[in-house]
Amino acid sequence: MPDALKLLATRRSFKAGELAGPAPSAAEIDTLLTIASRVPDHGKLTPWRFIVFEGEARRSAGAAIAAAFRAKYPDAKSEHVEAEGARLLRAPLVIAVVSRAAPHVKIPEWEQVLSAGAAAMSLVLAAHALGYGANWITEWYAYDRGALDALGLAPHERIAGFVHIGRPPGPPEDRPRPPLDAIATRFSG
Ligand SMILES: Cc1cc2nc3c(=O)[nH]c(=O)nc-3n(C[C@H](O)[C@H](O)[C@H](O)COP(=O)(O)O)c2cc1C
């Protein structure tokens, strides 16, 4: 099998907490972002952007998530609030893929959203190609306005994913994949 296909065929997610440091270098992060931004984009609108969380910035972003959690659940136990503050500390690097999809005279918003999904997938694959593991997750704070405001998202922006990246513990155990005959048909008129 050609190397590129082997790479695609062996990708699988790791749990965020399994991804260890050291984090990708600044040059590797540039590579990740360059690959992630090389995706189909109808109308060349660049309907996505990235937010990089690394080092201590993961802690301050976590504090914003914890504050949003406290605002949502004022009676929550302090241990729980503290745990929410550690959300982005599970992996040494987290890159948020932000959809900037908006109504457009020609390009359907749906296609702009799909382009953000493609960017997130390319980011995951680029991490895999560099020898890192990745986990594309959203979790509750991707849908919480207070958390999104604190992370700097404009009102029309949405989180496509918080892609967690780090060194994997070893080769992953695969999960069953859908059989092709259950998901693909040949159109026969
Ligand atoms: C948009 C999106 C959001 C996701 N959010 C979560 C999440 O919040 N928590 C989670 O456990 N998995 C989430 N997943 C699923 C994982 O990324 C992953 O696909 C899953 O663990 C299966 O692993 P695999 O990639 O090896 O098939 C999400 C996937 C997508 C596409």
Q: What is the pLDDT of residues 17-53, one digit of tens each?
A: 999 999 999 999 999 999 999 999 999 999 999 999 9
Which residue's C-alpha comes closest to atom 21 of ligand 1? 13
Q: What pLDDT is stored for residue 172 in this prediction?
A: 85
DSSP letters, 7-60, are: HHHH-----GGG-BSSPPPHHHHHHHHHHHT-S--TTS---EEEEEEETTHHHH
CA of 117 to the centre of ligand 1 (A): 12
This prediction has a pTM of: 0.97
Going by CA atoms, what residue is nearest to atom 12 of ligand 1?
A: 137
pLDDT, tens digit, 9 for 90 and up, residues 106-151: 999 999 999 999 999 999 999 999 999 999 999 999 999 999 999 9
Q: Tens of pLDDT along 171-180?
A: 888 999 999 9
Residue whose CA is at the smallest distance from ligand 1 atom 22 = 13
